[in-house]
């Protein structure tokens, strides 16, 4: 793409931030509390709106139920609209109650499976109320020891739960997509019921076209070629979206691009080649991060900027020259074309994009100068900060 075309695409990009990133969150060992943390879903959305205000490309915020449970979801959706954003993916929680110690939808106890499925269907209804197009599913289900439960039976239970939820979703909306996430380990350490993209894809294929795979960039073994997974799912029309974060070891949930910015670029290169960067490409770009040490809103702004930079570099790859080098079998030339794009400093280009959108060239500096961080510390006194303890 030429720079003018790249700027046009970047101005239309959509990167969703998660409500839970704005609460007190962190590792399972310790959560370090901060000042000015939201106390409810309304304040989380207000913080998410700040990210969109300064980046211009984060117009939606994912919610997590029951972390973001409210009495009136229509009121929450209106609050989001008043703040200039909308509610994005709805994420059920089937992993934080004592009932789920042996799993949720895969649990050997039919009563607990029923409870979990009812919650999934409740989230379908919530998605309808807030105008969400995505039901995002992740299950902590698995076992810790050989023989603890039947792996095959658990797959049957998972398939039945997904089928009932999918039928409820498709009956409610022809436009809603079920995103089925996978994770190769943790909190289950012997086997996980949805451990990889292949298992997720198989379940999606059994369900129907409104079920697609969600790729969390932290949910892979070291050395996994994530862009190969992305390319394969794109080819099959089954890449539903991303949960972007960064990993040094496992599911670190750190700022995306922090550990391996080249890896993020390689992923976005595959997305760009498939023409799936913009929302009409059918791929949802979402962040899934827990900021334990760093300030929440600036961390999300930085994350959005990192995805933008990787996307810009991916779009700058000379597609025509690359096709010629590939056709000629010129390995070095093909690699050089990709590396030239990666090594381009795209920050001036993105600054121009923001200025053309009527925004400050430096989102982090603009947010810091706004006084919002000091305002919420002063105003959010009393009540309980959102988040989870450790």
pLDDT tens digits along 119-138: 999 999 999 999 999 999 99
Residues 53-62: tens digit of each pLDDT: 999 999 999 9
Q: Identify the pLDDT of residue 81.
A: 98
DSSP state for residue 246 in the 8-state scheme: B
Angle between helices 226-236 and 197-207 (to 10 degrees): 10
Compute the average pLDDT of residues 186-199: 97
Confidence category of residue 332, pLDDT binned at 50, 70, 90: very high
Q: Length of the chain in residues, anyone?
A: 390
- Helix ranges, 173-218 (H): 197-207
Tell me the pTM: 0.97
Residues 138-162: tens digit of each pLDDT: 999 999 999 999 999 999 999 999 9
In 3D, which of 353, 291, 379, 385 has the Cα closest to residue 13? Answer: 353
Q: Is residue 74 predicted with pLDDT exceeding 70?
A: yes
Compute the average pLDDT of residues 298-317: 98
Compute the average pLDDT of residues 169-173: 98
Compute the average pLDDT of residues 33-49: 97
Q: Identify the pLDDT of residue 26.
A: 77
| Rounded alpha-carbon distances, angstroms, from residue 164 to 67, 104, 150, 170, 380 | 24, 14, 21, 10, 41
Percent of the chain past pLDDT 70, that is, above it, reads 99
Cβ atoms of 310 and 285 closer than 8 Å: no
**Residue 215 and residue 264: Cα distance in Å, rounded?**
13
Compute the average pLDDT of residues 153-178: 98
**Mean model confidence pLDDT for the chain:** 97
Percent of the chain past pLDDT 90, that is, above it, reads 96
Cβ atoms of 201 and 232 closer than 8 Å: no
Residues 361-388: tens digit of each pLDDT: 999 999 999 999 999 999 999 999 998 7
Q: Identify the pLDDT of residue 389.
A: 57
Compute the average pLDDT of residues 194-215: 98
- Helix ranges, the chain (H): 3-11, 41-55, 73-82, 110-130, 151-172, 197-207, 226-236, 261-273, 296-315, 319-327, 331-342, 347-356, 363-370, 372-379
Q: Identify the pLDDT of residue 266.
A: 98
Ordered structural domains, the chain, with CATH: 13-315 (3.20.20.150)
Angle between helices 3-11 and 347-356 (to 10 degrees): 60
């Amino acid at each position: 793409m030429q720079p003018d075309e790249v700027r046009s695409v970047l101005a239309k990009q959509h990167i969703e931030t998660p409500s839970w990133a704005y609460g007190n969150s962190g590792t399972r060992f310790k959560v370090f509390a901060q000042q000015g943390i939201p106390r409810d879903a309304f304040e989380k959305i207000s913080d998410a709106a700040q990210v969109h205000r300064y980046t211009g490309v984060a117009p939606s915020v994912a919610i997590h139920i029951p972390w973001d449970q409210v009495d009136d979801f229509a009121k929450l959706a209106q609050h989001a609209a008043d703040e200039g954003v909308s509610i994005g993916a709805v994420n059920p929680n089937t992993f934080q109650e004592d009932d789920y110690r042996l799993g949720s939808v895969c649990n050997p106890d039919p009563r607990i499976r029923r409870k979990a499925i009812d919650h999934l269907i409740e989230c379908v209804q919530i998605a309808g109320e807030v105008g969400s197009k995505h039901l995002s599913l992740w299950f902590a289900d698995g076992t810790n020891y050989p023989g603890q439960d039947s792996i095959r039976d658990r797959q049957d239970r998972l398939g039945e739960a997904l089928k009932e939820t999918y039928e409820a979703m498709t009956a409610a909306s022809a436009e809603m997509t079920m995103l089925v996430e996978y994770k190769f380990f943790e909190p289950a350490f012997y086997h996980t019921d949805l451990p990889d993209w292949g298992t997720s894809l198989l379940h999606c294929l059994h369900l129907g076209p409104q079920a697609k795979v969600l790729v969390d960039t932290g949910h892979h073994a070291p050395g996994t070629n994530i862009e190969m997974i992305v390319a394969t799912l794109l080819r099959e029309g089954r890449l539903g979206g991303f949960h972007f974060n960064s990993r040094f070891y496992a599911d670190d949930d750190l700022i995306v691009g922090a550990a391996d910015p080249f890896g993020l670029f390689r992923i976005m290169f595959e997305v760009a080649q498939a023409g799936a960067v913009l929302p009409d490409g059918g791929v949802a770009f979402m962040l899934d991060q827990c900021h334990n040490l760093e300030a929440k809103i600036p961390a999300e702004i930085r994350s959005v900027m990192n995805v933008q930079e990787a996307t810009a570099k991916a779009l700058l790859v000379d597609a025509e020259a690359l096709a010629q080098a590939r056709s000629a079998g010129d390995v070095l030339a093909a690699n050089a074309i990709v590396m030239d794009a990666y090594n381009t400093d795209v920050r001036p280009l993105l600054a121009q994009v923001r200025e053309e959108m009527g925004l400050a060239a430096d989102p982090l500096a603009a947010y810091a100068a706004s006084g919002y961080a000091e305002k919420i510390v002063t105003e959010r006194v009393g009540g309980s900060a959102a988040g989870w303890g450790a």
